[in-house]
Structure 1
């Protein structure tokens, strides 16, 4: 169950992360998720209301400079990407346990995490799930046009 749940979370957060990245860079071509021509990219500090353009009621990190502002500006993507990586890691650990249990039931030796992550079993499950998410993100971006 853990393998399947982690695999599902992984694919969902991959989709969210890709959708966030796509909406930052897409230029308006009819999709409601796209930006107007000339507005593509991350925007400037005035548009984002950060640094010297932050309002008095803005979060402290929006007023900060340096690495704290960079973290603040990318916080949603960082959270989504972190959940994706953690679920990928959980899937790999749970999958390794299941794989080694099946190996031992057939009288074969257990393998380590590195060997499992580099093996076909892991990537077959992972990429099979990712392809559906990539199709979903592509459809959400392209079909509204």
Structure 2
């Protein structure tokens, strides 16, 4: 068990942090939602009741969509684009291991089965990472829209205003403001990491070049 945990420590730590912060979001979100409800003469909700509200769905997937968009675009852009001196870029002037054609690889027992199978299966596998991230982005985008529509209509009804359809909500400035305010921050964070990794270091991290490496050296 100890060996397995060590081998999967990075994933386990991130999942644990996700669950901790997600739990905090749910508890604090339910409290804030109930405070708003009581301020308007409406009944408070339980934590489980909060999970069924449009506000929770909207808030959750509004953030998830930006994360998956960021990671999908980062995976795709780093296939074609370079940043001289950055550890986040493939090396310049030479072929990177990621560019090698798997069809020319020597088949071993440990070779992933799509590579052994070849054909369409391999073609899909070659782009499976970006495909998964884009699917998760589209799913989160859709759920953001659905939850946002419910929350928006609840607010409209409380103010005696007409409700809207899903397509109607997609046409509102509110929906796109919520999306753009998250998207811009994600790409700013990536730009800072890409640029800062040219000149700054973090000893022991694979996201950083070796501390003594020259600034102009590109890639890990």
Q: Please, what TM-score do these two structures have when normalized by structure 1? A: 0.86
Matched, 1:51 2:103: yes
1:1-145 equivalences in 2 (<5 Å): 1-27=56-82, 29-38=84-93, 39=95, 43-45=99-101, 50-56=102-108, 57-145=110-198
CA deviation profile, 1:52-75 (whole Å, cap 9, x unmatched): 525222122122333311210111
Q: Please, what TM-score do these two structures have when normalized by structure 2? A: 0.59
Unmatched runs of 5 consecutive residues or more in structure 1: none
Inter-partner Cα distance in structure 1 for 2:151 and 2:106: 51
Inter-partner Cα distance in structure 2 for 1:54 and 1:100: 58
Inter-partner Cα distance in structure 1 for 2:104 and 2:196: 39
CA shift for structure 1 position 18: 2.0
Higher relative contact order (CA 8 A, sep 6+): 1
Unmatched runs of 5 consecutive residues or more in structure 2: 1-55, 199-220
CA shift for structure 1 position 28: 5.3
Inter-partner Cα distance in structure 2 for 1:3 and 1:109: 20
Q: Which has the larger radius of gyration?
A: 2
CA gap 1:54/1:92 in 2 versus in 1, 3 angstroms: farther
Tell me the C-alpha RMSD between the 2 structures: 1.8
Is the Cα contact below 8 Å between 1:51 and 1:64 reproduced in 2? no
4+ residue runs over 3 A deviation: none
Q: How many residues align?
A: 140
